[in-house]
Amino acid sequence: MRFRYTDIQNHQDPQKPFSRPYLIVRLRNGNRHKDVISLVDSGADVCLFHSDIGRMLGIEIEAAPELAFQGVSGVREVAYLHRVELTVRGLSAITLDVGFTNSMVVGTGLLGQRGFFEQFEINFQLNQKFFEVTPGIP
């Protein structure tokens, strides 16, 4: 599936917005689901979502293995790994482990190497303002 990049305001130069590869994915746990805007990030090791999303899915966040990680700030953060189902619009659902953390912006997600990039082929075409997400080879 092909998706357009989303332009984000550049406060330094409003005439040159930043383009980001955002997807709306559906997370499912049992009979509960939540659609989440998520950044496709080839530099992220794991998939991360704000803890509030996990709670909406009926997940007891802290009852899972702890994962320590650090972002670009270098500050040590903690996430809790849980297995969920994730669907990209137009593609089959996958099952993967994601980290739920309070360090994300409320209501957002990050789609990283482990889980997401392992199961999907991603082709970034920034100069043409689109990216493609296709099922990976099993």
Rounded to an integer, what distance in angstroms lies between the CA atom of residue 54 and that of residue 48?
A: 10
pLDDT at 137 over 70: no
Taking residue 28's Cβ as centre, other Cβ atoms within 10 Å add up to: 15
pLDDT reported for residue 78: 95
Of residues 71 and 28, more confidence is placed in 28
What is the domain partition of the chain in residue ranges? 2-9+18-135
Pull the structure tokens for residue 50: 């704000």
Helices (H), the chain: 51-56, 118-119
From residue 128, alpha-carbon distances to 33, 41, 112 in Å are 33, 18, 22
Tell me 114's DSSP state: I
pLDDT of residue 102: 93
Task: Spell out a b/e string for 66-77, using b for 16 or more CB atoms within 10 Å of the CB, else e.
Answer: ebebeeeeeeeb
Task: Give pLDDT, residue 16.
Answer: 93
Q: Model confidence at 138, in pLDDT bands (50, 70, 90)?
A: low
Helix (H, G, I), strand (E, B) or coil at 17: coil
Q: How confident is the model at residue 136 (pLDDT cuts 50, 70, 90)?
A: confident
Stretch 114-126: mean pLDDT, rounded?
96
Residue 70: pLDDT band by 50, 70, 90 thresholds?
A: confident
The predicted structure's pLDDT at residue 73: 77
CATH hierarchy code of domain 2-9+18-135: 2.40.70.10
Mean pLDDT of the chain: 94
